[in-house]
Amino acid sequence: MRQTSLFEVRDQSADNDSNSYCQKFSPDFDGWWVAARVCLERNRDPSSVHWLEDPSCRQTAARTGGLPAEFFTLAKAASCHSNDDRWSLLYSVAWRLKNEQPQLLSLAGDAQVARLNNYAKSVSRDVHKMKAFVRFRKVDGESVRYVSWFEPQHNIVQYAAPFFKRRFANMKWSILTPVGCAHWEGDGELWFSEAVDKTFAPANDQFEDAWRVYYRSIFNPARLKISAMQSEMPKKYWKNMPEASEIPALIKQAEVRTQSMLEQRKPADKLHCGARPSHPDQLLNAKLATEKLTPLQELKLQASLCDDCPQAQHATQTVFGEGSENAHIMIVGEQPGDQEDLQGRPFAGPAGQLLDNALRRAGISREQCYLTNAVKHFHFEPRGKQRIHKKPAPGVIASCHRWLQREIELVNPAIIVYLGATAASTQFSSAVRISKHRGQIMQADGRQHLITAHPASILRQVNQEARQAAYRSFVQDLMLVETGIAHAMQRAQ
């Protein structure tokens, strides 16, 4: 072999081909990219470069070389894949992006692009599992450290470590794996060390039982779907998760426990639940057979089948958005109330009446708007004969978000008005305070946004005077909608 540059060696042994290069690089994405840039600048054909990982190479990050940002996102993930051909694949794609086809990444049918996407996807699934299934055990030494053993499918330790740094910023921790280890000392920088075997990790700690108790308490036998559960939590991860030892027994007891839950169910659990509309499946098939549905109508039918949150079993029906599909104004509330649940329409009860009046005072008619909610099922607690509104949990808001997101995409309003903190949390951080952030037109994602109070909060004011003052402020906020639409129109020109 003959040295041609610091890290590049002409490979005379390989097929006796004098144009073959053995490119050494420090075995991580940044190291590979520094070396790849050298090859790209010299226009080395991908078939002539052999990639050789060499931990002794010390290379600093290079610029993007004009390749699209999307390449780096995909390539960083794919570089963690366990297949040995990943480096040559990355280089081939980089070379073709530079020399042949700048739009290469949009050609999903191209064999190399497809392989790159598959590698990146497989790595991101592995990272997702690592985030979900790493279990730390407490180790008492000079100072307390939390240590975990995890067996990833790919070389994802460095790639995934910043997530754990953010998530467990105040602890000292180590994640040990058979492909390398990551460590965090509670401040400073993450550091990494060689692979170890499982004997280096603690086998258990005093929290083990707590995990099991927690898992038993959140396990709902009535919602058990074994295949879905095993696809989300594949068996290969079980051996390193303390709570997994509970699973076989919980599955075995599920039927008996469900039966006993049904027997113990109080009549109040079914309180006021109105007559359910015809089964959504039938509704969907009948509609599809006779009518051509708009995308929004199709979405509404899909949402009527949704039972992602437990409340779907108790509520009368899904209450989807309503109004013009081309509305400039979208109004987002929290969740349907008692009346909305029974009638199947948003803002059909007392809060809706107040909203209608306030809109009118602000010069807006309900017909100009598309009205919807952050959450599509009524969440309540039975109390005597009443169903008392229960604030939806963040998990419910998150799982319902896909419906709202799609409604926004399809209606494409110029302005979205958020009524109350739950609605605002769907777009802004949960740190939003209505008193602080209401009444200002904000721009994001190419449209205007306005936060204001929820009409139910006005109805809850203690006396008439306070109610009137709150109502006036509400109308004042709604008057800004016109300004928001004007801004949107100006920006569109």
26 or 304: whose CB is closer to ligand URA?
Answer: 304
The reply on whether position 335 binds ligand URA by CB under 6 A is yes
Taking CB under 6 A as the binding criterion, the range among 213-221, 230-238, 249-257, 333-341 that sits at the site for ligand URA is: 333-341
Per-residue contact flags (x/-) with ligand URA for residues 160 to 179, judged by CB under 6 A: --------------------
Separation between Cα atoms, residue 285 and residue 290, nearest integer Å: 9
The reply on whether position 425 binds ligand URA by CB under 6 A is no
Give 285's contacts (C-beta < 8 A, 6+ positions apart): none
> Quick one: which of 321, 336, 413, 439 contacts ligand URA (CB under 6 A)?
336
Instruction: List strand residue ranges (DSSP E) for 298-367, in order.
Output: 322-323, 329-333
Nearest approach, Cβ of residue 470 and ligand URA (Å): 15
Nearest approach, Cβ of residue 423 and ligand URA (Å): 7
Residues in the chain: 493
Give the footprint of ligand URA on residues 360-419 (CB under 6 A): 373
The reply on whether position 340 binds ligand URA by CB under 6 A is yes
Taking CB under 6 A as the binding criterion, the range among 22-30, 258-266, 334-342, 434-442 that sits at the site for ligand URA is: 334-342
Instruction: List strand residue ranges (DSSP E) for 290-422, in order.
Output: 322-323, 329-333, 369-373, 380-383, 386-389, 415-419
Residue of this chain nearest to ligand URA (CB atom)? 333
Nearest approach, Cβ of residue 454 and ligand URA (Å): 6
Taking CB under 6 A as the binding criterion, the range among 87-95, 198-206, 241-249, 330-338 that sits at the site for ligand URA is: 330-338
* Strand-pair partners of 184: 173
Give the footprint of ligand URA on residues 36-75 (CB under 6 A): none
**Single-letter amino acid, residue 415:** I
- CA distances to 244, 292, 323, 401, 404 from 284, rounded to whole Å, are 39, 12, 20, 22, 20
Nearest approach, Cβ of residue 458 and ligand URA (Å): 12
Six-digit token string for 242: 């303390």
Give 419's contacts (C-beta < 8 A, 6+ positions apart): 331, 332, 333, 334, 355, 452, 453, 454, 455
Nearest approach, Cβ of residue 383 and ligand URA (Å): 18
The reply on whether position 352 binds ligand URA by CB under 6 A is yes
Task: Give the interface size with ligand URA as a residue count (CB under 6 A).
Answer: 13
Orientation angle between helical segments 157-167 and 111-133, nearest 10 degrees: 40
Let me know if 173 is exposed, middle or buried by CB neighbors in 10 A (0-12, 13-18, 19+). Answer: buried
DSSP 180: B
> Quick one: which of 337, 392, 413, 484 contacts ligand URA (CB under 6 A)?
337
> Quick one: which of 78, 130, 351, 424 contacts ligand URA (CB under 6 A)?
351
> Quick one: which of 333, 392, 413, 484 contacts ligand URA (CB under 6 A)?
333
> Quick one: which of 7, 320, 347, 471 contacts ligand URA (CB under 6 A)?
347
Six-digit token string for 232: 């989300």
Q: Which residues bind to ligand URA, rule: CB under 6 A? A: 333-337, 340, 346-347, 349, 351-352, 373, 456
